[in-house]
Chain A
Amino acid sequence: MRAVWAFVAQGFRQQSAYKVEGWMGMVSGLIWFVLYAGIWTALLRGDPEALQRQMGYVIATRFLSDLHFLPTWEISAKFRQGDVGLELIKPVALPLRIMGEFFGRSCFRLLRATPIFAVMWVAFRLPAPGLAAVALFLASSLLAWIITATLQISLTLIALWTVQFDEAEQLFGIFSGLLSGQFIPLYYLPAWIGGVAAFLPFAGIYYVPSALLSGGLAGWPLAQALLLQAFWAAVGIGVLSAMWAAGGRKLVMQGG
């Protein structure tokens, strides 16, 4: 576990070195916020209460977008260029090391962006969430990150079998974009789609933490959603472990 934390710290330091990228990331976050805020303001103009809840939801999804920054293309480059050989001689499994590093990078991004999210929250005069809600939001965000990181890294590991895996990642992106609540919360989807989506892993990536913080989920439905989120996080870890174990046997290194 100490080794994993060392990778988290390494990722944190690494991200802090990319200063321009950090500032540009904040510009990007603001543009996305303006886009979503504009759309939902236009749609919910006649319902101030729903609009207020939706603004909280949008801010939460922007927070999660920064958390879910996963540069998986760096892993595939390691496979293509044969650098994965160096990874294999390290005492920590590649997926664990990558996850530690990615998490560290996300933590730095969040550290820089969180004051802006807080300012947005105040600027829209949203009610301050209680400490318990914030703690639950952070726990749920961590589960969300585990779900998306394990599933996306698993998809990247397909590169161990075939050089062409972009389409699988793209399909994941399309389904995630539609069913995760990143843009449209599940309660605004057509009823049957929202009902089905609630049971899929995608809902745990954006919808559950965002609806929790904005007040769209509470009581027993919230407990159910969190349990389901924990289940999908465990499934993600299982899938990633299995993929890495099978892929490691498949891997052939070119002699230099």
Chain B
Amino acid sequence: MLRHNFSCYWRMARAQARSQMQYRVNFVAMIISMVLTYGGQFISLYWLTERFNSIAGWQLEEVVLLYALAILAWGFCVSFFFSLHGFEDQVRQGSFDRALLRPMNPLLHVLGSQSPIAGLGQFVFSIAAFAFAFKATGLTLTPMKLAYLLFTAFGGGLILGAAIIAVATLAFWTTMTYTFYWNTVFPARQLINYPVSIYHRSLQLVLTFAVPFAFVNYYPAHVLLNRSAELPVPWLAWLTPFVGLAAISAAYLFWNLGTRYYTGTGS
């Protein structure tokens, strides 16, 4: 059953990718505009650290590595989960009926309605940012660290994806997704562009246990920068993939609960 669902998802996603590639200029423009947007934030970071030397003991290249990790994880999330961002339209117009009637998992049906290469702009930027950060810090990317980086980014993508699924699920009760996404997940995601240690302790706890965005980049960055010993609990840095799996499972349970409250439009 699982294999059948993922096979259907993969076919749908591939068709979406082919469809997106028909508009090549648009696709390239999208990548460029993404890189420019993140580049703008990079410049802000550069100006800040040039003026103040460091942010809470983190040098520019270290903050850039933190930022690159967040964007890489976000790239995974955009590629696989971002179709849920506009899920309210499907609930309001009743087109979610289609997903419920087809012989595959409804969530995967919704996720398959977008191209899996939508996060390419994020990947391009994060690779460039990693290259800068590794060169500037003098660290070497060993095969072990590369594997850790990929697993961590995937886990981070799952954590962010879980947040998007949770927000999309609220549409079953409120018929709203955009409002919740832009006012909660989007600004909360910006919090992790900087070291979480700059915030009040209570917020650090929230970002670790309640909305575990700190696992997306803050804890893993300590491993990549050989700073794990600075963490109060060093093994937290190795938990990202597990936290990602736990978060996505919890979000999926919430989604299943929400689908019970879905009512079609009746037309």
Q: Which residues of A contact B (CB under 8 A)?
A: 20-21, 24-25, 27-28, 31-32, 34-35, 38-39, 41-43, 164, 166-167, 170-171, 173-174, 177-178, 183-184, 188-190, 193
Contact = CB atoms under 8 A, between A and B. Distances in A.
Given A39-B55, A170-B37, 8 more contacts: A31-B184, A31-B190, A34-B203, A35-B191, A39-B194, A174-B36, A177-B41, A188-B51
A170 B203 CA distance: 31
B184 A27 contact: yes
B184 A28 contact: yes
A42 B47 contact: no
B44 A178 contact: yes
Given A38-B194, A38-B198, A170 B183 contact: no
Interface stretch (B9-17, B64-72, B174-182): B174-182
Contacts of B51: 188-190
B258 to A, nearest CB: 17
Contacts, number: 83
A43 B203 CA distance: 18
Contact of A177 (B44, B48, B200): B44
B43 interface: yes
B40 A184 contact: no
A77 to B, nearest CB: 13
Nearest to B181: A24
B187 A39 contact: no
Nearest to B41: A177
B183 A27 contact: yes
B37 to A, nearest CB: 6
Interface in B176-210: 176, 179-180, 182-184, 186-188, 190-191, 194, 198-200, 203
B29 interface: yes
A183 B187 CA distance: 14
B265 interface: no
B180 A24 contact: yes
A25 B26 CA distance: 32
Contacts of A32: 187, 190
20 contacts: A20-B179, A21-B183, A27-B184, A28-B184, A34-B191, A34-B200, A38-B199, A38-B203, A39-B48, A39-B55, A39-B198, A41-B198, A42-B198, A164-B26, A171-B36, A177-B41, A183-B44, A189-B51, A190-B50, A193-B47
Nearest to B176: A20
B95 interface: no
Given A42-B198, A174-B36, A28 B187 contact: yes
Contacts of B55: 39, 42-43
B33 interface: yes
A167 B199 contact: no
B194 A31 contact: no
The residue in A42, A164, A177, A183 that gathers the most chain B C-beta atoms within 10 A of its C-beta is: A42
B43 A178 contact: yes
Contact of B191 (A20, A31, A170, A184): A31
Contacts of B191: 31, 34-35, 38
B48 to A, nearest CB: 6
A189 B59 CA distance: 17
Contacts of B36: 170-171, 174
Contacts of A177: 40-41, 44
Given A38-B198, A189-B47, A20 B174 contact: yes
Contacts of B43: 178
A153 B56 CA distance: 40
A170 B182 CA distance: 17
A34 to B, nearest CB: 7
Interface string B14-52: 000000000000100100010011011101100110111
Contacts of B198: 38-39, 41-42
Interface in B53-97: 55-56
A34 B56 CA distance: 16
Given A24-B183, A171-B36, A178-B40, A190 B194 contact: no
Contact of B179 (A21, A35, A183): A21
Contacts of A167: 29, 33
The residue in B26, B33, B41, B174 that gathers the most chain A C-beta atoms within 10 A of its C-beta is: B33
Given A24-B183, A27-B184, A188-B51, A174 B37 contact: yes
